[in-house]
Structure formats: structure tokens, C-alpha cells
Structure 1
Amino acid sequence: MALKGSCPMLLLPLVLLGAWLALASEKLWNEKNDKFLLQHWNYPRSKDSNGTYCDTLMQRQEMYGQEANTFIHAPMGSINNICTLGGTPGKPNERHSVAPFDITVCAFNSTSRTYAGTRYVRRIVLDCRKGLPIDYVRHI
């Protein structure tokens, strides 16, 4: 049975609005994942010939002066996998990696205005949305 009257004309804008909102929401999560990768992903690990790894990366990522930041040295697929099968649930939206990851923690020294980097192999905790990491929480 076909709809009569002005109802079909009212439904079309609602359907289009719903589709637009779904696409906009997906774009938002992809942008958050892109920002996560820019701030926390460095694979393969950049060469550190003179001990300035953290200074160089923090400047390059435009995060110089930030108190601390952690870089993950693993393929993107391995990191994304934490948000699905390669991780276990934690607090809401948090996933704990099952496997340990090679990471570098860069800490800012306000006196010398430089960063010191410490490498670890640790399990990591990520904030995940829609199966993608959007923030680094901590290492465990």
C-alpha cells in the first residue's frame, strides 16, 4: 500500500538527516583515531643517533611542553587489534592489551626544558570507540 498525502515528503528529509548524522559521527571517530595515531604511534621507531628522540618527536608532533607522552612502536593493525580481539575490557570504553608492546615514555624536564625518554615493554590500556583507539590511557 503506497503512502498518500504529504507524509512521504516529510520522511525524505528525516531519512537524509539520519544518513548525514551517521556519516558525520563516523568521520568524528576517524578524526579522533587519526589524532591518536599522530600523538602516540611511531613505527618503526625513529632513529635516535644523539639522544634527542623525545625532543625531536614532541616538536614534530607539535606537543612540545606537554608534561609527558607515550609513543607505541608497533604496526597500526596490532594497536587497533587491542580494541577488538587483542584486548580485554577494562573501565567503560577501555581495553587492556593482551600482549606487551614496545613503548617510549617521554617526560618533560621543566628545568632543562628537554625531554627524557624511557623505553619499556609493557601491556597498554587504550580508550576505544567503534573498534578504534582514540586515546592512550596508561601502561601496566
Structure 2
Amino acid sequence: MALKSLVLFSLMVLVLLVLAGARPSWPKFENDHMDPGNGPFGPNYCKKEMKSRNISGKQCNTFVHEPMEAVQAVCLEPNITCKNGRDNCHKSRSPMSITECFRKKGRSSYKAINEKRYIIIACKGNPLLPVHYDGSEEVSSEAR
């Protein structure tokens, strides 16, 4: 009986590990840019997030406040040229909620700008997954 329970438990763990591995993983992008929480967020948000994610050395960073699936879907949009000249960037079809955090000169405090913008991300792999936040574009007044 104990052996049967051990075998069943081992199979269950194996199934869970396989299922966990089936979810695409893009940990650096997710750590540096994803926060599906609701905003708007102020300067304390930026300071807290930059520190807790161990990215406080950056002068600026953008957090995307959309579900991970919506951001991953941007990888399915047509390719565009990235700032570095590569052609693996993609622009979101619709504006997304973002917070841009800018570190104030000589300080550990941040200025937070909350906006709805088109995001531009670089994607790699099969399936395509976000690997780099390349920037954003303003929403024109006609699209608002």
C-alpha cells in the first residue's frame, strides 16, 4: 500500500512539473517590466518596485500593467525594427497601461508617469516570448 501511494505521489509530482514547465517563461522581462496591478502609481511605487526587483541601478524603467497573456500576444503582431536595428520588435495593437519610472538626479527617489501607450517589445523563441522592452509610442488624439 505504501509503495502504491509513493508511486501515485511521484506521478502526480511529475505531472505538476510538466505542467509548470509548459507555461512559457520569460523571467527577466517579467521581473523588470511586468506588474499587472491597477494604477495609477506614484513615486513611492517606483522606489519600492525598483528596489524589490533588484533593478534600482537603472536610471529609468517601465512597468506594464496588463495581463501577461496580453503582453505576450504583442509578439504575434507584425515585426518592426527595434532601436538597435534588429527586426524582432513588435508594437501593441492597442494602448496599454504603463508606469514610467525616472530616477531623479543624485537621488534614490523617482518620478512616476502613468500613461496609456502602445508598447514596443522584442521577442524571441518558439513560441515567441518578450525578452526586451524597446519603448512606447504615444496614443494619437484620434485614437483616444
TM-score, normalised on structure 2?
0.68
Partner Cα distance (1:103, 1:111) in 2: 25
Aligned to 1:133: 130
Aligned to 1:120: 115
Q: Offset at 1:104?
A: 0.2
**Is 1:65 aligned to 2:60, yes or no?**
no
**Is 1:89 aligned to 2:84, yes or no?**
no
SS in 2 for 1:81: helix
Aligned to 1:39: 32
RMSD: 2.0
Aligned to 2:13: none
Runs of 4+ in 1 over 4 A off after TM superposition: none
Partner Cα distance (1:88, 1:52) in 2: 36
Number of residues of Structure 1 aligned to a counterpart in Structure 2: 108
Structure 1: state its 5+ residue gaps: 1-26
SS in 2 for 1:128: strand
**Is 1:111 aligned to 2:101, yes or no?**
no
Q: Compared with structure 1, are the counterparts of its residues 89 and 44 closer, same or farther at alpha carbon in structure 2 (3 Å cutoff)?
A: same
TM-score, normalised on structure 1?
0.70
Is the Cα–Cα contact under 8 Å of residues 83 and 128 in structure 1 kept in the other structure?
yes
The counterpart of 1:98, out of the listed 89, 93, 98, is: 93
Partner Cα distance (2:79, 2:51) in 1: 33
Identity of aligned residues (%): 25
Q: Offset at 1:116?
A: 1.1
Structure 2: state its 5+ residue gaps: 1-20, 82-86, 138-144
SS in 2 for 1:57: helix
